[in-house]
Structures are given as structure tokens and as C-alpha cells.
């Protein structure tokens, strides 16, 4: 009898250990961001000190009130110390007296949330490289957003607004082209965005050279009504333009926008370089994760043809506002 009992106990021990190994393996695959392989691409990241590795790679925590950004409120943004990806704008930082830098919002798509191994908290890591940042808490009532990102100073580096503005990549105007229905409404919203230097209503994406508005309206030219935007990247970035683009039209509609129907009213982003394409893809993914069925197409920029003069700054000349392009905050 005792021998049978011992065999049963042994079998239960084997079963329990097997289940534990399966659970541990699944936990690592589902909830970790390649922590065991985080150094595989180390050549692409910055060298870390032992203290930085302890926090960012081993999920350690710096002592409270010792980080250099606890009481830091200069204008600019905070980036991942490991890979340089932008994480938080200074405008989202607030004083919580918790001992670590606190933010009530992250830059969209910059931070990933994971269940913490302690089973109680939610860990936050850099969405780009997986480096440990800290934890996120909700329901504390510090700000109207009711969220607190508790971040280790050692996981971040601060970039002052003046330095960002003076960087080499921000020294010349850039161009963006968007199609999202009647170009009157599109131009109206973008012309009011700070940092936009010039807007032009026109046509692109088709096969007919120098088309007229009447020709495009037939739907036989392949062109879309679009707006070319020249902007100062020191004042507004392409991400700001992308956000406004999606927030001022129904990107789930195919070949139409409100009462305007036809291929010329399609939703399409005409990117000028790979960086713009990557940013557009990033925000389409964000929208899809939010549950939207995005119909917007991505196309490398083609020849852009300005429309007739009476189409330029249409609503400014008319003294009215768009009826089919209404701003709706999404991000």
C-alpha cells in the first residue's frame, strides 16, 4: 500500500513540474520582449553602464529620489537611453512625489505594457527595443488622465526643445501629400496647423498630365484630389501631419468621403521617402489595433498637379468651414 502511495506521489510531482515548465515557457514567449536575446542586436544600440544594464536589461529599479529627472521639468522630450526612441513629451510629465519621474501619457505607440512577474503590477518597456522603463498605474487621480507612468530616470535621456529644433534634420522645409476626399476641406485643416508653410490643392496618382478639375471629376484619369503641404519640421513633424490627416476624415470609407463618391475621393497617403512610409504604416497599425478597418492606401509620391486658382484656399475665400471634413480626436 505504501509503495503504491509513493508511486502516486511521484507521478503527481512529475506532472506538477511539467506544468510549471510549460507555464514558464509560455509566460516568456507571450510576455517578454526577447529579453533572452536583447543583446543580439547590441551593435545597433548604445553602450550601457552596469547600472543601466541592471535596470534596462535585468528589470531592476533605481532608488527613489536619486534619479536626475525626478524634479526635472524642462521643455523637450524623453527618449529611451538604449535605442534613442522617443518615449514621452515633457508636457505629459507631472510631479507625483513618488520618487521617480511620472508621466500621464506616452507618445503613441512608444511604450509597451506587459504583465509584471510579480502578478500584480503592469510593466512598461520601450516598444522599439524592449528595454525596461518601469511600471504604469491607473486610478490614482493625479491628473485628469488618471494614469501614472513611473519611470526610472536611468532608462531615459532628455532632449531639450532647443536642441531638437537645432538638429540638422530640421533645417529645411519638407513636403507631404495627402488625399482624403474633397481637397477643399483637407487644405482648410492643414493650412491652420502650426509649422505649415504652404498648402496647394491639386491632383496626383493618375496617368493624365496636367488634368483639369472637370477631367478628374469623370473618374477616368486615375487621379485623386489631394493637397501638397510644405512644412517646417522644426515646428511640426510628419507624425503631427499624419495624426491630423486621420483625425479629419473617415479613413474606413472606400472611394468616397461623405456625400462625395468616386475614386478621386479615395483615402491615400503619397509618401516622399521611406521614413514617411514607416510613420504612416505605424499609425495605420495603431488604428487597426484600436479596431478600425483602415481603407487608406500608401503610394510613393507621383507627379503633383496644382488645381485651378479658384480651388486654392477655397474655404478661406468663401468665409465658411468644411461640411465633410470635421475634426475628431483619435490619438
Q: Identify the CA nearest to 317 among candidates 309, 326, 327, 325.
A: 309
Over residues 67-105, the pLDDT tens digits come to 999 999 998 999 999 988 899 999 999 999 999 999 999
Give the range among 1-15, 21-35, 237-251 with minimum mean pLDDT: 21-35
Asked if residue 36 has pLDDT above 60, the reply is: no
- Is the pLDDT score of 9 beyond 70? no
Are 70 and 153 in contact by the 8 Å Cβ rule? The answer is: yes
pLDDT greater than 60 at residue 49: yes
Per-residue pLDDT averaged across 37-44, rounded?
48
pLDDT in tens, 224-279: 999 999 888 888 899 999 999 999 999 999 999 988 999 999 999 999 999 999 99
Query: Which is catalytic among the residues 98, 182, 217, 324?
Result: 182
According to DSSP, the β-strands at 174-180 and 132-138 are unpaired
Q: Tell whether 42 and 134 lie within a shared domain.
A: yes
Instruction: Give the domain range for residue 63.
Output: 35-163
Kindly state whether residues 55 and 103 are assigned to the same domain.
yes
Task: Check whether residue 2 and residue 122 sit in a common domain.
Answer: no
What's residue 23's pLDDT?
A: 46
pLDDT, greater one: 29 or 212: 212
What is the average pLDDT value for the chain, to the nearest integer?
85
Is 150 catalytic? The answer is yes
The per-residue pLDDT for 39 is 43
46 and 24: one domain?
no
In the chain, % of residues over pLDDT 70: 84
Note the pLDDT of residue 3: 53
Of the candidates 80, 150, 217, 324, the residue annotated as catalytic is: 150
Tell me, yes or no, if the pTM score tops 0.85: no
Tell me whether residue 219 is in a domain. yes
Q: Does residue 72 lie in a domain region?
A: yes
Tell me the three-class secondary structure of the chain, residue by residue.
CHHHHHHHHHHHHHHHHHHHHHHHHHHHHHHCCCHHHCCCCHHHCCCCCHHHHHHHCCCCCCCCCCCCCCCCCCCEEEEECCCCCEEEEHHHEECCCCCCCEECCCCCCCEEEEECCCCCCEEEEECCCCCEEEEEEECCCCCCCCEEEEECHHHEEEEEHHHHHHCHHHCCCEEEEEEECCHHHHHHHHHCCCCEEEEEEEEECCCCCCCCHHHHHCCCCCCEEEEEEEECCCCCCHHHHHHHHHHCCCCCCCCEECCEECHHHCEEEEECCHHHHHHHHHHHHHHHHCCCCCCCEEEECCCCEECCHHHCCHHHHHCCCCCCCCCCCCC
Here the CATH number for the domain that contains residue 219 is 3.30.1060.10
pLDDT tops 90 at residue 167: no
Give the chain's domain count.
3
Instruction: Return the C-alpha cell found at 147.
Output: 494614469
Amino acid at each position: 500500500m505504501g509503495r503504491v502511495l509513493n508511486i502516486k506521489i511521484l507521478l503527481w510531482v512529475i506532472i506538477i513540474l511539467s506544468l510549471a515548465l510549460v507555464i514558464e515557457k509560455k509566460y516568456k514567449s507571450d510576455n517578454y520582449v526577447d529579453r533572452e536575446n536583447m543583446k543580439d542586436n547590441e551593435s545597433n544600440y548604445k553602450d550601457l553602464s552596469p547600472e543601466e544594464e541592471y535596470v534596462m536589461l535585468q528589470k531592476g529599479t533605481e532608488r527613489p529620489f536619486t534619479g536626475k529627472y525626478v524634479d526635472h521639468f524642462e521643455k523637450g522630450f524623453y527618449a529611451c537611453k538604449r535605442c534613442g526612441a522617443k518615449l514621452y513629451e515633457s508636457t505629459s510629465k507631472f510631479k507625483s512625489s513618488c520618487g521617480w519621474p511620472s508621466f500621464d501619457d506616452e507618445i503613441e505607440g512608444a511604450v509597451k505594457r506587459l504583465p509584471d512577474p510579480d502578478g500584480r503590477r503592469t510593466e512598461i518597456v520601450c516598444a522599439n527595443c524592449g528595454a525596461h522603463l518601469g511600471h504604469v498605474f491607473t486610478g490614482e487621480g493625479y491628473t485628469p488622465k488618471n494614469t501614472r507612468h513611473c519611470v526610472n530616470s536611468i532608462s531615459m535621456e532628455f532632449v531639450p526643445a532647443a536642441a531638437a529644433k537645432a538638429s540638422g534634420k530640421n533645417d529645411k522645409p519638407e513636403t507631404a501629400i495627402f488625399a482624403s476626399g474633397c481637397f477643399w476641406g483637407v487644405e482648410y485643416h492643414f493650412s491652420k496647423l502650426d509649422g505649415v508653410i504652404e498648402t496647394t490643392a491639386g491632383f496626383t496618382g493618375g496617368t493624365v498630365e496636367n488634368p483639369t478639375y472637370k477631367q478628374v471629376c469623370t473618374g477616368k484619369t486615375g487621379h485623386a484630389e489631394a493637397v501638397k503641404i510644405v512644412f517646417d519640421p522644426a515646428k511640426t513633424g510628419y507624425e503631427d501631419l499624419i495624426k491630423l490627416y486621420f483625425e479629419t476624415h473617415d479613413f474606413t470609407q472606400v472611394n468616397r468621403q461623405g456625400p462625395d463618391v468616386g475614386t478621386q475621393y479615395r483615402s491615400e497617403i503619397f509618401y516622399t521617402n521611406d521614413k514617411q512610409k514607416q510613420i504612416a504604416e505605424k499609425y495605420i497599425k495603431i488604428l487597426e489595433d484600436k479596431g478600425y478597418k483602415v481603407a487608406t492606401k500608401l503610394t510613393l509620391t507621383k507627379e503633383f498637379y496644382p488645381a485651378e486658382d479658384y480651388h486654392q484656399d477655397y474655404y478661406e475665400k468663401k468665409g465658411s468651414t468644411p461640411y465633410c471634413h470635421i475634426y475628431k480626436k483619435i490619438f
